[in-house]
Structure 1
């Protein structure tokens, strides 16, 4: 787990934010009994306009992600190994979780990890495509950035129902595009690392785009934090 993700899972203030966060948009924790608190975004809810609207970001963060927190605090009371700093190893070895709460831990720990990762992989005013070693790997694997984007877009749009599309470094150390249902993520399948991901649950886009998922994903490319993606790639390859 990288330092930024670990700090956010602990509920620490975001680092490296590119915009000041108005007081009305700061959410450091919610009233909940347990070790988990709602991590802050690291940028204002309106920062990704017009690509992702303010209302969607607010509801998505406070209500949808916030719901995972209360559930995880309940499960933490039943499974001592479940803590803010153990989310990733728990997801990588779900078979160790007691069967009676395994599905709940899978859904809620997966949901929290996915959303913290998602917020971090977006930024206002970032670069338009990958650079450095990630760009070279994309070109080698997919042909060029345009072909990669086309394949990733197809995976995101083609996910039936709710779920995610991801760019990962697979078990063999190669880039791959995968899709997961619900709040599952590639950690559960033993990948070396996750580079990029997009949420295609309807609550991520419906207020602005209604049923036009392709339009949402097309616009989402304008928010990608390629600097963070490069760091994720380097960590996975290291």
Structure 2
């Protein structure tokens, strides 16, 4: 309790995702439901012209992200021309978007629905729906469907790498916490949904859809032990 109070006193509106979102809404920024700003203290969202910024539902914003609706280049033009010409433009981020760490969203940009913006990207142009963008300037890397298929193709390989590297480094058997992003692969559909998987399902904002997928698919492995055997990890050899 004391720690949380100190955090609020020191960091004020940026003490948590909830307080930062509330602050931005009070300023006039339109923000939908289910949004998360993972590290508010490292994130800067331009609210000088709050009516120009719209953020949809289930938008997730990582550490270091900058979202701009204007700049101060008018000062350079004023020195040369004597005229003051503004450059305020809207930014719209539609539903179900993830903006990676240290990305910059420039004024005048619309990001469509179901979009992933890669870490460190600088978004200077509109991003179409159902796509992945990355780079400086950000460009379309692939469709969301292509990303899904690519990850599914590599899912077992990636999960084994996580398990093996954890085991080799710690000498401990990886559990459901370590393998939380891969629990769909080996969770028994006839048993209760694992706690870590349920947390992820709820966090996506699509619990019913993910539960339906869980209930109506067959895992690649019978259970966690079956998966670990495929990694050649034997519980008998755990070194504590």
TM range (shorter): under 0.3
From the two aligned structures, give the one with the greater helix fraction: 1
TM-score, normalised on structure 1? 0.25
State which structure, 1 or 2, has the greater radius of gyration over its C-alpha atoms. 2
TM-score, normalised on structure 2? 0.25
